[in-house]
A and B are shown apart, each in its own frame.
Chain A
Amino acid sequence: MQTNRVASGGRINRGNAVNFTFNGKAYQGFAGDTLAAALLANGVDIVGRSFKYGRPRGIVGHGAEEPNAIVQLGSGAQTVPNLRATQVELYEGLEAHSVGGWPSVDFDVREVLGFMGKMMPPGFYYKTFMRPQNLWHFYERWIRKAAGLGKAPLESDPDCYDKLNQNCDVLVVGAGPAGLAAASAAARAGARVIIADEQQEFGGSLLASQQQIDGQPAMSWVDERLAELGNNDNVMLLPRSTVFGYYDHNFLGILERRTDHLGISSPGQVRQRMHRVRAKQVVLATGAIERPLVFANNDLPGVMMASSVSTYLNRYGVAAGNNLVLFTTNDNAYQTAIDWHKAGRKVVKIVDSRPEPTGALVNTAREFGIDVMAGHVVVEAKGRRRVKGAMVAPLNDNASAVAGAAIRLDCDLLACSGGWSPAIHLSSHTGAKPQWNDELVGFVPGESKQQERSAGSAKGAYSLAGCLQQGDEAGREAARKAGLDGESTAASYQVDEQPQQPQQAMFLVPHAKSTSRAPVQFVDFQLDVTAAAIELAAREGYESVEHVKRYTAMGFGTDQGKLGNINGMAILARALGRGIPETGTTIFRPSYTPTTFGAIAGRDVADLFDPERYTAMQRWHQQQGAEFENVGQWKRPWYYPKPGETMHDAVNRECLAVRNSVGMLDASTLGKIDIQGPDAGEFLNRMYTNAYAKLAPGKCRYGLMLKEDGMIFDDGVTACLGPNHYLMFTTTGGAAAVLAWLELWQQTEWPELQVYFTSVTDHWATATVTGPNARKVIEKVCDDIDLSNEAFPFMDWRDATVAGVSARIFRISFTGELSLEVNVPAHHGRYVWEKLVEAGEEFGITPYGTETMHVLRAEKGFIIVGQDTDGSMTPADMGMNWVVSQKKEFSFIGKRSLSRSDMLREDRKQLVGLKTRDPQDVLPEGAQIVNQPEHAPPVPMQGHVTSSYYSANLGHSIALAVVKGGHKRMGETVYCPLADGRVIEAEIVSSIFYDPKGERQNV
């Protein structure tokens, strides 16, 4: 039964009843309701239980500020925690649960036992639960369960989210009177405008207003603006869209809820869309949030914000009670009593803290026969599960204490207004420091740090005329500063409005008892922070507002203290004997309201999470059943298992095939950089450790590249293609970094060197044909060059035609076998690859993957940069001084560092081979090496294993390792203690296990 629904009025569709459940109970509301409006209509008083004390809590507000009615929608994978019922649009079948309350909101153990309250003074985590530390896990589980922080689903989110990048001249945040006026003004000036508002309908405060603009109802003015904006192609209207963060350089995030109002899930549609906006100018017309009054038991259900009472009545046709007491410090809230009276409900009294209220609205109320108790305050609310009465007492002259006995007013609804707090959150995100304004009794946006300005009540303008005028001005200014010089005459919107009298500052309502003895006076409803707790924090020595925030948890809830913070800071200021400006405010940070992870991820999920780079032969590898390995973003075939083969079997087979006949590797992923220019040779000389200037066309050379600190950065072969023309190969993972490195030195240090670098990594597809029969395979598909060892020796390259395709063949080898690397433009890649497979059939050509490549090169002691090196290894450490030329005139990059004292230490970690005592033992990579495993901890470390495999060719395991002073320790025994308790004994040997003279690659 919608007992609280009034007979007519509101922006709801009474013809469209909507069924929903709340904490398992069925209710009915109307289309156009929020969940909060529908709950109030149904007379649901208790919507949650408080964080620490388990006290019953009701709906307080009507928007983003709501601290109590925090719900979780749906169930299973389709669930969303921590939503404010005041912002949830009702849909058929909606299923909501309070996040607070255990075991249920109607029966909370903490309330009955009064247990947690005593246990949880401010700083309760620190004081109570951190010692003994091992019990924290036990406490935490229990506290979280009781506190109700919402439940994250365990299943993956079935819904679709995406992101849109937007660029605009002017972004207007908020579509109330100021925002709409701003958007209209900016659009008229020709600006590209985005206007976003978190509510389902544009209009902001006007949606619940009885005021008139230009002689017609305010909503008619809104409709006119929307028609004007809607017809403009340069304007994007974003309702249901929260601007949740304001980041550097006018970059803002907007969360648009596209289907949340239709149901918990929306298969086939985008549920939420993140707009990533780069705005030239921003207008913040985010409005203001009404401030609660802090008095005893002010958290009882039925104590609500005055503007919320009006909003539920005017916008949703819901009267949240019968007999209203209004408690105010300002004129503005009188409108609530007037609205209530006009709706035919009883206004018991208006309690106004000011001694002589005389404003126009005050007079109107009095004319309606409403009784005003001036100079009085509500000191305490009475009731258990809902407010039943208000204790009202007179104030002394300076409003610092009660000046007489309290009387009781019976009521079931207590509307409160402590004035307004401008919603300065987004302005705060920019780093602008909020400024205290005594006249407005609130913080207003500080000096702009970005291209933004605030307008309307966000800036402290509380009259409708002021909002419209400021909005119009802000919109015109924003357009002008965005570079638009279109029409810029001020709009003139007529509002019939009477001036309001100043409000009274009132942050803690005096009580006959001291704060610590009076019934609890709540400052932060969501985290149960009381005025007494803040005063206690001050007594315990906390002075900084940021520390008090952390000590008391004030403002730490999902509502970020939108209601309570100002009162809390003012109470702290008074306790410290300071002013509010000196005490300052905590800084608001993104997000304004909680933002779903789904929207942050967008479409960057599953297969699209990160690019997968493929070579031209990818489909062939897939068809052969290859397993893949990630190398950077590349997918490389790891090994090609045959039916029934384990990885071990497959790798052994591939290794033997290469050494005994022929194998083929897709090497397309190696970085390739084309280098041209008169100074190309000189440049290479400076970048590599060895000499390049005299490399002749047709020749290749292996080089090491160091960083300026002398550490190995990359390695690879560079070929001379012609005069002043080279092709550099880099490691697969290092390609982009090497190109950036070359450009860095050429562009910033040696611009006088004439040389150009062009990435050709993707242009070439590479098939490495390797093994004793490699030449025989190539001969079958290439007849235009002499492939003999004499005509085409090791470390040469040739232009050739392979399978009818123009190709380059490089005789370079990473396996130690005779190798011919065939490069063709990638669009021919798969074709040529398959021709090579065909040609190799008679030799049992075996495709092999990166694992076999690793084993074969390790047998040869060839390093892999990034595996055997880690950014702290020099050429000497790797035993590679043969690649370092000391004769070059120019001090190549890294050379000077090689003679630093630290580089000359004899106990540097050096690359060696390890042979395990048991040839079948394969050491784990990363295993630590020690001299004496029985040594008492800490055991001196000698180094670690960098590469380790089983070598089918050698019939035993092989490992590469870096060991302190290892080059001079051949034959010594070392030990690898493993995590499983075993200790493996190994002998230090040469890092070259196979074909130490390197004869096989030269055949």
Chain B
Amino acid sequence: MSSSIETPLHYFHGQQTGSGDAQVTIFESPLCGHLNLRGNPQDEQFLEGVESVVGVKPPTTAGSCASSGDISIYWLGPDEWLLLLPESRRAEVESELRNKLSGHFSVVDVSGGQTLLNVRGDGVADMLKKSASYDFHSNNFPAGRCVQTHFAKATALVSKKDDGSFDLVIRRSFADYLASWLLDAGEEFGCRVVGGGEV
């Protein structure tokens, strides 16, 4: 079945701009499970219900993310989160959530509609400055923070990892545009797109 899958940046894997060694790497994860979760953050039962399935409560602090094992959960809005998890666990977690949660909530599979990129390297700070007006300086955006923001002329969910690199979750239909944008922005540093299978 895996041969039937094309991630949004499939046709960009291996592409490079700039000369010499690539200082910036854009790594596209293999297909992940992406679940959009809605619920009432004031409802302890909801928070605990989610925790019982994914191991951590949805963060209620604006612009923060949490993780437990191989599941990360990102704050998207006051009652909206993104769960990122291995695709192999997606169906199970999705149905578990439906079983454990009650009242007004929603769980929506959006795995086909977005992709997870990790950008790292020496020019990344400038690459982000070219792409978004948001202040990604570590004073303002330490590891553990996430933000949905305007990115070039599209949008992205950006988060900072413990190792200083950045994760980007972008929409599939904008992926070609954003990949071209990032390769262009990274050209002065040398920039390469790497696909999941190549690592």
A, B co-complexed: yes
**Chain A residues packing against B (C-beta within 8 Å):** 162-167, 192, 270, 276, 278, 603-604, 607-608, 610-616, 618-619, 634, 669, 674, 676-678, 754, 756, 758-765, 803-805, 824-832
Residues of A within 8 A of B126 (CB): 164
Give which listed residue, B36, B111, B177, contacts A613 with CB less than 8 A: B177
Q: Quick one: closest A residue to B175, CB to CB? A: A614
A167 to B139 Cα, complex, angstroms: 11
Q: Are B188 and A270 neighbours in the complex by a CB distance under 8 Å?
A: yes
B174 and A611 contacting across the interface, CB-CB below 8 Å? yes
Overall SS of chain A's interface? mixed
Q: Which residues of B contact A (CB under 8 A)?
A: 1, 3-8, 11, 31, 36, 38, 79, 104-106, 108-114, 126, 129-130, 132-135, 137, 139-140, 152-154, 171-178, 180-181, 184-185, 188
In the complex, the answer to whether A756 meets B133 with C-beta atoms within 8 Å is no
CB of B133 within 8 A of CB of A165, answer yes
Q: Which of B3, B111, B112, B153 contacts A765 (CB 8 A)?
A: B112
Q: Can you list 6 A-B contacts (CB < 8 A)? A: A162-B185, A276-B133, A611-B154, A676-B106, A825-B111, A826-B113
Of B36, B38, B108, B130, chain A has the most CB atoms within 10 Å of the CB of B108
CA distance A618 to B113 in the complex (A): 15
Taking A608-B180, A762-B112, A763-B110 as contacts, is the C-beta distance between A827 and B7 under 8 angstroms?
Answer: yes
Least distance between B160 CB and chain A CB atoms (Å)? 15
Nearest Cβ on chain A to B176's Cβ, whole angstroms: 5
> Contact: A758 with B36, CB < 8 Å?
yes
- Pick the residue among A607, A619, A763 that contacts B109 (CB under 8 A): A763
Closest beta carbon of chain B to A830's beta carbon, Å: 6
B50 to chain A, nearest CB (A): 15
Q: Is the CB of B108 within 8 A of A760?
A: yes
Do A828 and B4 have beta carbons less than 8 Å apart? yes
Q: Which residue of A lies closest to B39 (CB)?
A: A756
Q: Is the CB of B135 within 8 A of A760?
A: no
Contacts of A831 in B (CB 8 A): 3-6
Set of chain B residues within 8 Å of A619, measured between Cβ atoms: 11
Residue of B nearest to A278 (CB): B133
The 5 closest A-B pairs by CB, nearest first: A762-B113, A825-B112, A763-B113, A831-B4, A167-B135
Asked if A616 and B6 make an inter-chain contact with CB atoms under 8 angstroms apart, the answer reads yes
Q: Does A756 lie within 8 Å of B129, measured CB to CB?
A: no
**With known contacts A611-B154, A828-B4, A831-B4, A163–B130 Cβ distance under 8 A:** yes
- Give the nearest-CB partner of B140 in chain A: A167
Q: Are A760 and B113 neighbours in the complex by a CB distance under 8 Å?
A: yes
A827 in complex: contacting residue of B5, B140, B152, CB < 8 Å:
B5
A607, A613, A762 interface centre (most CB from chain B within 10 Å): A762
Taking A165-B132, A758-B38, A760-B108 as known contacts, 15 extra A-B pairs with beta carbons closer than 8 A to each other, sorted by chain A number, are A162-B130, A167-B137, A192-B139, A278-B133, A611-B154, A613-B177, A619-B11, A758-B36, A758-B108, A762-B173, A763-B172, A765-B112, A826-B113, A827-B111, A829-B112
A164 contacts B110, CB within 8 Å? no
A761 to B188, CA, bound (A): 34
A569 shortest CB reach to chain B, Å: 38
CB-defined contacts of A764 to chain B, threshold 8 Å: 112-113
Residue of A nearest to B136 (CB): A167
A751-B4 Cα distance, complex, nearest whole Å: 42
A850 CB, min distance to chain B CBs, angstroms? 16
Assess whether B176 is in contact with A603, with CB atoms less than 8 Å apart: no
Query: Taking the nearest CB of chain B, how far is it from the CB of A186, in angstroms?
Result: 15
The answer to whether B5 and A164 touch across the interface, beta carbons within 8 angstroms, is no
> CB-nearest residue of chain A relative to B128?
A165
Question: Cβ of B3: which chain A residues have Cβ within 8 Å of it?
Answer: 831
Q: Verify B113–A804 contact, CB threshold 8 A.
A: no
**Are A612 and B176 in contact, CB atoms less than 8 angstroms apart?**
yes
Whether A674 contacts B108 by the Cβ 8 Å rule is yes
What residue in chain B is nearest A754 (Cβ atoms)?
A: B104
Q: Which residues of A contact B178 (CB under 8 A)?
A: 611
A805 engages B4 (CB within 8 Å): yes
Chain A residues, CB < 8 A from B31: 827
User: What residue in chain B is nearest A823 (Cβ atoms)?
Assistant: B112
CA distance A164 to B185 in the complex (A): 10
Least CB distance, B59 to chain A, in whole angstroms: 18
Q: A612 contacts which chain B residues (CB < 8 A)?
A: 176-177
Question: Are A826 and B106 interface neighbours, CB within 8 A?
Answer: no
The residue on A at minimum CB distance from B18 is: A268
Which B residues are in CB contact (< 8 Å) with A278?
A: 133, 135
Residue of A whose beta carbon sits closest to that of B107:
A676
Pair B114/A762 contact, Cβ less than 8 Å? yes
Residues of B within 8 A of A162 (CB): 130, 185
Among B5, B153, B176, point to the contact of A828 (Cβ < 8 A): B5
Report chain B residues within 8 Å CB of A615. 173
- B190 to nearest A CB, angstroms? 13
Q: How far is the CA of A867 from the CA of B153 in the complex (A)?
A: 26
Q: B112 to A826, Cβ gap below 8 A?
A: yes
Bound together, the chains give a CA A55 to CA B164 distance in angstroms of: 62
Decide if B174 touches A758 in the complex (CB within 8 Å): no
Task: Looking at the assembled complex, report how far the CB atom of B101 sits from the nearest CB atom of chain A, in whole angstroms.
Answer: 12
Q: Is the CB of B112 within 8 A of A166?
A: no
B184 touches A756 (CB 8 A): no
Decide: B176 and A758 in contact? CB cutoff 8 A: no
Q: Which residues of A contact B174 (CB under 8 A)?
A: 611, 613
Within the complex, which residue of A611, A805, A830 is in contact with B153, where a contact is CB–CB below 8 Å? Answer: A611
B110 touches A760 (CB 8 A): yes
- A residues less than 8 Å from B172 (CB atoms): 616, 762-763, 826
Closest to B139 in A: A192
Chain A residue numbers with a CB within 8 Å of B133 are: 165, 167, 276, 278
Chain A residues lying within 8 Å of B110, measured Cβ to Cβ, are: 758, 760, 762-763
Contact A166 B1 (CB under 8 A): no
